[in-house]
């Protein structure tokens, strides 16, 4: 929640009060538009109470604070929730930000509403050692409340969405912190609940604060081609509409350009140019029943060329978040690829609003979803994370909520959903713990496969078990993908192999200590080890070793806690004795993707698309707030520009190449040449003769008699790149060769 300010009462407040009432009456209109039979009496009472409780508080943009609960309630109304939800949305900040009490709200509005309000309220009173731990506990509380009443998270999403819409008024650091939290926590939850409309808006708003330069580049690119895009969308939409009308199919057809974050992931995750993003356009066809969905699919494939391996039937096999639709990628007459999504009106409501679209009450009971299995995953996630630490919890959240899925079948034909990349081990533990623990072999489509085999959509999996099996292997933890399997294997080792866990845990702990240039003598001084064990809730060192051994906590995390404790002790001593020279040993930095980042270890590293550095280039790193360190060349224009901005200058860190290896790096080359027969073939042949792998190759005439060839190649270092460019320069007709990013 944002910090509220207070205003004095006077004539200057009259415009604010008028604005508040105008917003409230607009909320009533939205509610009646969704539910004409709604009783507004309780909603008005909740508004009056919240308005009085927040009193003269202001938001940072100068508006009355009550406008925030009003905006959250409007979002709740738009997704079609009930009167209790609307009341709770209006009251959701009262307990945290005003003098209102739980008892008073319960007396006036009932237990259901006050329980929802408490579920939405943050744990702002509890101190945490770091921001990540605070986020984890907030999320745990919301998930616990969700397991009882799913409306908690629906209101929380509405609250966060409005805060993101008005984030520009927050300080810069708060903007990035909130955007990162939204991207890591709230967008995945919206996705898992099937609320795509809210998820897309949260992602687009967040990435604008996390990587403003990258988003500006995308927005500028889309702006330049706006007329072209609108023309293509209009022509294609009209053609599909007219064709289906001729066939007597009642439908609604709409077209759009992909969302900014979707484009961002394609461009920066796969190192592509905007022009190289193939599925930039998407069309949606909404029909009346399932049979017509498949009929329309046939007509679309008749109208356009279908792209092989680009078809998904999410009607026959719905996604875990209830999403259903047919997806197909085709190429139009103009040679432009696009996606077509085909669904019924009911499926469309589910796609837009997810679980909120299925909001039904059991007879005589308000606040219960009829099909509780739709969010049983909330309880499973909570059960599997009872002993996990912060890092494990967020990792589990990302896997369970945001990972792509693969659908496989049991021998009896039941569908099992697993994270992409899952193995037969993941499948076995998804059936039952005992199936995984007693597993001795796996068969996929009738053929025996190794445990590390990657399962694909449609595979039929059979697990062979034996009562004499020795149980899971520790190596399994390195190849499995699902959180469920990981936790069940850890539980088995915790229960069955305590002595072995202690031995393995001690070895891992001692190794991590050596890596940090520490000894047992170092951490025994000043009761550092004892204090760390207390903080981590271990009674003795053997309990710690056992937890490390079965995977309950990582040795690296324990050593990092020890270093934090040592740092605090040294800091206290320096205050008491300013001349003290005692230092804390730092963990040696490991290279990631061939790059060493000064002062950081195990961080995400990506190579900037704007300048595409390769070994041999002078490089610099930029801490991107949630997306790791982006490595740029030191002559990169973006670096030179950003280094002059005070708020960004301190986010540049020293990085260096770790040394020669066999890693290859993409790099762009731009070739200008006089157009002649065979020039493109000569360029491709020269690169092929040099054994340089070509990632993309685009050639076009840019002026009379001049052709421009843009090619992305993979090279090991700068010397190899320069040598290739020299050879290209020797081709007849070539007038210039340069790095595409220079």
Residues with catalytic roles: 96-97
Kindly report each contact of residues 364-369 with a partner whose C-beta sits within 8 Å and lies 24 or more positions away, as own/partner: 366/82, 366/84, 366/112, 367/84, 367/112, 367/149, 367/151, 368/149, 369/150
b/e map 475-514, b = 16+ CB within 10 Å:
ebbebbbbbbbbbbbbbbbbeebeeebbebbbebbeebbe
Distance between alpha carbon 742 and the CA centroid of its chain, in Å?
A: 32
Q: Is the C-alpha dihedral spanning 468, 472, 475, 480 positive or negative?
A: positive
Q: Please tell me the distance from the alpha carbon of residue 654 to that of residue 30, in angstroms, as a whole number.
A: 53
Residue environment code for 9-20, b if the CB has 16+ CB neighbours within 10 A, otherwise e: eeeeeeebeeeb
- The structure tokens 């204090």 sit at 531
* Cα dihedral across residues 640, 641, 646, 647: positive or negative: negative
Strands in 461-465's sheet, in edge-to-edge order, are 447-449, 439-444, 461-465
Cα 348 to the center of its chain, rounded Å: 23
Tell me the CA distances in angstroms from 380 to 375, 398, 429, 484, 558, one per residue in order. Answer: 9, 14, 13, 8, 27
Beta-strand pair 734-739/665-674:
antiparallel
* Three-state DSSP state, 59: coil
Closest CA to 176 of 141, 205, 137: 205
Beta bridge partners of 463: 442
Of 564, 462, 544, the C-alpha closest to 502 is: 544
> Following CA atoms 456, 552, 131, 572 in sequence, which dihedral angle do they give, to the nearest 10 degrees?
-150
Distance from C-alpha of 37 to C-alpha of 112, rounded to nearest angstrom:
21
Q: How far apart are CA 165 and CA 361, in angstroms?
A: 31
Enumerate residues 6+ apart whose C-beta is below 8 A from 98.
53, 54, 55, 57
Q: Which two tokens stand for residue 439?
A: 């597993």
Task: Please check whether residue 323 is in contact with residue 196, taking contact to mean a CB–CB distance below 8 angstroms.
Answer: yes
Q: Is-contact 489 549, C-beta < 8 A?
A: no
Determine the Cα angle at 443 with ends 440 and 448, to 5°.
85
Q: Is 75 helix (H, G, I), strand (E, B) or coil?
A: helix
Q: In 425-489, which ranges are E strands?
A: 439-444, 447-449, 461-465
How far apart (Å, rounded) are the C-alpha atoms in residues 547 and 538? 9
């Amino acid at each position: 929640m944002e910090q509220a300010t207070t205003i004095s009462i006077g004539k200057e407040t009259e415009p604010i009060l008028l604005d508040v009432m105008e917003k409230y009456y607009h909320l009533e209109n939205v509610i009646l538009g969704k539910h004409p039979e709604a009783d507004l009496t309780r909603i008005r009472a909740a508004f009056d109470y919240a308005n009085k409780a927040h009193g003269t508080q202001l938001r940072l943009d100068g508006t009355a604070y009550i406008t925030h609960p009003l905006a959250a309630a409007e979002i709740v109304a738009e997704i079609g929730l009930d009167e209790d939800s609307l009341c709770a949305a209006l009251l959701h900040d009262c307990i945290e930000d005003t003098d209102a009490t739980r008892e008073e709200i319960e007396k006036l509005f009932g237990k259901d509403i006050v329980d929802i309000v408490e579920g939405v309220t943050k744990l702002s009173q509890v101190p945490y050692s770091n921001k990540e731990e605070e986020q984890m506990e907030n999320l745990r509380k919301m998930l616990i409340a969700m397991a009882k009443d799913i409306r908690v998270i629906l209101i929380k999403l509405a609250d966060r969405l409005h805060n993101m819409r008005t984030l520009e008024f927050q300080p810069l650091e708060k903007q990035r912190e909130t955007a990162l939290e939204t991207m890591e926590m709230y967008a995945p939850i919206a996705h898992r609940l099937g609320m795509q409309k809210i998820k897309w808006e949260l992602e687009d708003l967040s990435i604008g604060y996390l990587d403003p330069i990258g988003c500006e580049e995308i927005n500028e690119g889309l702006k330049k081609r706006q007329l072209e895009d609108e023309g293509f969308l209009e022509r294609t939409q009209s053609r599909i509409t007219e064709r289906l009308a001729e066939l007597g199919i009642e439908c609604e057809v709409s077209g759009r350009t992909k969302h900014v974050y979707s484009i961002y992931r394609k461009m920066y995750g796969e190192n592509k140019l905007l022009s190289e993003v193939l599925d930039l356009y998407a069309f949606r066809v909404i029909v009346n029943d399932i049979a017509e969905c498949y009929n329309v699919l046939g007509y679309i494939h008749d109208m356009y060329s279908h792209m092989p391996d680009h078809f998904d039937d999410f009607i026959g096999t719905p996604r875990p978040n209830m999403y259903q639709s047919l997806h197909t990628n085709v190429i139009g007459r103009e040679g432009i690829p696009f996606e077509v999504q085909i669904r019924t009106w009911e499926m469309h409501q589910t796609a837009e609003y997810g679980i909120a679209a299925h909001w039904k009450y059991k007879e005589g009971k308000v606040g219960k979803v009829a099909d509780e299995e739709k969010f049983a995953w909330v309880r499973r996630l909570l059960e599997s994370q009872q002993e996990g630490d912060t890092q494990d919890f967020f990792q589990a959240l990302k896997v369970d909520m945001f990972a792509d899925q693969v659908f496989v079948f049991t021998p009896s034909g039941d569908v099992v959903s697993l994270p992409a990349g899952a193995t037969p081990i993941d499948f076995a533990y998804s059936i039952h713990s005992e199936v995984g623990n007693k597993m001795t072999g796996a068969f996929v489509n009738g053929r025996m496969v190794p445990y590390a085999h990657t399962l694909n959509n449609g595979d039929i999996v059979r697990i062979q078990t034996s009562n004499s099996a020795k149980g899971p292997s520790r190596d399994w933890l390195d190849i499995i993908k699902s959180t469920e399997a990981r936790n069940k294997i850890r539980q088995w080792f915790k229960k069955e192999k305590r002595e072995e866990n202690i031995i393995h845990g001690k070895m891992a702990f001692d190794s991590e200590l050596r890596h940090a240039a520490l000894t047992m003598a170092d951490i025994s001084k000043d009761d550092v080890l004892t204090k760390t064990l207390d903080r981590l809730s271990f009674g003795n060192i053997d309990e710690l070793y056992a937890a490390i051994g079965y995977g309950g906590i990582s040795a690296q995390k324990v050593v990092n806690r020890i270093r934090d404790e040592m740092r605090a002790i040294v800091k206290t001593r320096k205050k008491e004795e300013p001349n003290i020279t005692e230092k804390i040993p730092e963990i040696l930095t490991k290279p990631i993707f061939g790059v060493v980042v000064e002062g950081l270890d195990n961080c995400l590293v990506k190579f900037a698309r704007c300048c595409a550095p390769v070994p041999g280039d002078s490089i610099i790193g930029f801490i991107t707030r949630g997306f790791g360190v982006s490595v740029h060349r030191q002559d990169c224009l973006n670096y030179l520009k950003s280094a002059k901005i005070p708020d960004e200058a301190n986010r540049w860190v020293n990085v260096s190449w770790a040394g020669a290896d066999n890693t290859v790096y993409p790099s762009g080359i731009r070739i200008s040449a006089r157009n002649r027969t065979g020039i493109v073939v000569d360029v491709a042949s020269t690169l092929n003769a040099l054994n340089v792998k070509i990632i993309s190759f685009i050639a076009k005439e840019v002026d009379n008699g001049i052709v421009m060839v843009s090619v992305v190649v993979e090279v090991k270092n700068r010397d190899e790149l320069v040598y290739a460019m020299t050879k290209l320069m020797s081709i007849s007709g070539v007038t210039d060769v340069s790095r595409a990013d220079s």
